[in-house]
Amino acid sequence: MNHMGIEDLSPEEQEFGVWLTNGIERGWISDPYCHTHDGGYQYMSEEEVEEWEAGGDPCEHVVRIFI
């Protein structure tokens, strides 16, 4: 959801936003973060490693599940 207004999102994307917000507010999941830049290099795909080594900057956005 790259800085789009809610009116620009499909109903499915809007529902995902509700789901994500609900999980964060209830403490079930973390806020989204970049696994590449905040750790987790060992989980990069081969393609992402190649991009990283070539000077690219692949982001892998994740949430952690707490329950």
Residue-wise pLDDT tens digits, 11-55: 999 999 999 999 999 999 998 888 888 876 776 788 888 988 999
Strand partners, 34: 61
pLDDT computed for residue 9 by the predictor: 92
Query: pTM higher than 0.75 for the full model?
Result: no
The total of other beta-carbon atoms located within 10 Å of residue 23's CB is 16
Counting every residue written for the chain, the total comes to: 67
